[in-house]
Amino acid sequence: MRAIEFGGTIMQGGQIALPPEIVARIPAGEHLRVFVMWEPSGEDSGVLIEDGHVTALTLAVIDVPKEDEKGNDGHGSKIIVIPFDGAAMDRDLAHVE
């Protein structure tokens, strides 16, 4: 398996627009596995990967809109850790086309 990183666009119907130079590098009939990554709009988030599999997702949450957080005002943020069995997902999806 080879990985190619590129910038693309998700179209309104959910299709991914691939740049022509990337399309030219993919052999006809090749099965693709797509991983979508994006820049969050201000939220702190992350993915923990161990042994090549996702094991947890992290999200930062706050009890007021971010623009209303002034510091030392009784509001605070928390980090939420969501366990995830990426090895099982990879195993279960290994034969999906």
Q: Is the pLDDT of residue 91 over 70?
A: yes
Per residue in 26-61, pLDDT (tens digit) is: 888 887 777 665 544 455 678 888 888 889 988 877
Q: Which residues on neighbouring strands pair with residue 62, listed in sequence order?
A: 77
Are 82 and 55 contacting, i.e. CB atoms less than 8 angstroms apart?
A: no
Are 86 and 57 contacting, i.e. CB atoms less than 8 angstroms apart?
A: no
Summary count for the chain: helices (H), strands (E): 2, 5
More confident residue, 80 or 15: 80
Mean pLDDT rounded to a whole number for the chain: 76
Q: Which of 92, 91, 96, 84 is nearest to 33 (CA)?
A: 96
